Amino acid sequence: MKIIVLPGDGIGPETMAATVEVLQSVNKRFDLNLELEHDIAGHESLKKHGSTVTEALLHKVKTADGLMLGPMSTYDFKDESKGEINPSKFFRKSLDLYANIRPARTYSGLTNKVGPFDLIVVRENTEGFYADRNVESGSSEMLITPDVVISLRRITRLCCERIARTSFELAQTRRKKVTIVHKANVLKIADGMFIDICKSVGQEYPDVQIDDYIVDAMMAHVVRAPDKFDVIVTTNMFGDILSDLTSELSGSLGLAGSLNAGTQYAMGQAAHGSAPDIAGQDIANPMSLILSAAMLLGWCGQRSKSKRLLEASKAIEQAVERVVKDGQVTRDIGGNLGTQATGLALAKYLQTH
């Protein structure tokens, strides 16, 4: 099994090194026969190849079993004609990674202000208000006059159906509840269609409970009582914002795993950015990327019906629970370890338990 590893920018190389340490540990323990093939994207690729990503890299990813993408300096990449392509957008669009799955949960040993909870935000990943990915070519954000900008939002039946099905299938493996988040009181046609399609798909899963909330009200409800929610399904921008909120409620965005999945391909990617202000200081929290790697192994395991991959995925999650409880973590979540030492602590736990 081959995974392409792209360390990324800023704190990416540090957090990816810790992630690789963990992957190598489960590889030995579960005899996974993993092959981790390293390559470059982002600033390093721009300097070497004149583009942040290349078609050759895309071909390599398509022939592999999965992709681990480190944090990228997305804000720096503004002009695609100069090779400044957003790598995350590039892979999500090129591989049709339509589902962004972001768990958020609390951990024993880590203080939080809202009580224990365990939920997943399932975010549509390929259209919505994202101007760089909802048209075939160019951007759907237009400067009409120096004082007028129009941004178009695309919502399609296909994308609504497949993200809804992803959420209901996930709910069946959990507490059997799906919450639809929308703004149908204002976006009556687009979000009205989104709700209708989600509920229609939900009829195929009669054991799953369905409710829905307007997005602004949802922000209040999820802060007040996040334990009420199980699987939350929503459109692209709402999901982006909501998943950051739920991750932070769990204790830190640094604990937020994230998987971008499609029918054929999947990409593990930390929920946070490249944090250049702390790069190279060995203080970045690697847990988000490590948990994303666990999710990637789980996706590969489900697809190939590999018990070993599924066990390895679960073992990483359990190891994270343990080191967080024991305080063997970075300073942002109450520990005193560096990035590298946190990865080693996880690897050691995996080797001995």
The backbone torsions φ and ψ at residue 282, rounded to the nearest 5 degrees and listed phi first, read 60, 40
Tokens 């988000």 sit at which residue? 288
Alpha helices in 305-352 (DSSP H): 307-326, 339-352
Q: What is the pLDDT along the chain (353 residues), one digit of tens a residue?
A: 999 999 999 999 999 999 999 999 999 999 999 999 999 999 999 999 999 999 999 999 999 999 999 999 988 998 999 999 999 999 999 999 999 999 999 999 888 888 999 999 999 999 988 877 677 777 888 999 999 999 999 999 999 999 999 999 999 999 999 999 999 999 999 999 999 999 999 999 999 999 999 999 999 999 999 999 999 999 999 999 999 999 999 988 889 999 999 999 999 999 899 999 999 999 999 999 999 999 999 999 999 999 999 999 999 999 999 999 999 999 999 999 999 999 999 999 999 88
Active site residue 79: no
Q: Which residues does residue 101 pair with via DSSP β-bridges, in sequence order?
A: 122, 259
Choose the catalytic residue: 65, 183, 212, 349.
183
- The amino acid occupying position 54 is T
Q: Would you say the CATH fold of 113-249 matches that of 1-97+278-353?
A: yes
Residue 177 burial by CB count (10 A; 0-12/13-18/19+): exposed, middle or buried? middle
> In CATH, what class is 113-249?
alpha beta
Question: Rounded to an integer, what is the distance from CA 272 to the centroid of its chain?
Answer: 9
Tokens 């990813």 sit at which residue? 61
Active site residue 130: yes
pLDDT score at 206: 97
Active site residue 349: no
Residue 80 burial by CB count (10 A; 0-12/13-18/19+): exposed, middle or buried? middle
Architecture of domain 1-97+278-353: 3-Layer(aba) Sandwich (3.40)
Choose the catalytic residue: 244, 282, 314, 332.
244
pTM for this model (two decimals): 0.93
**Domain ranges, ordered by start, for the chain:** 1-97+278-353, 113-249
Active site residue 183: yes
Choose the catalytic residue: 216, 227, 307, 325.
216
Active site residue 240: yes
Choose the catalytic residue: 98, 130, 213, 265.
130
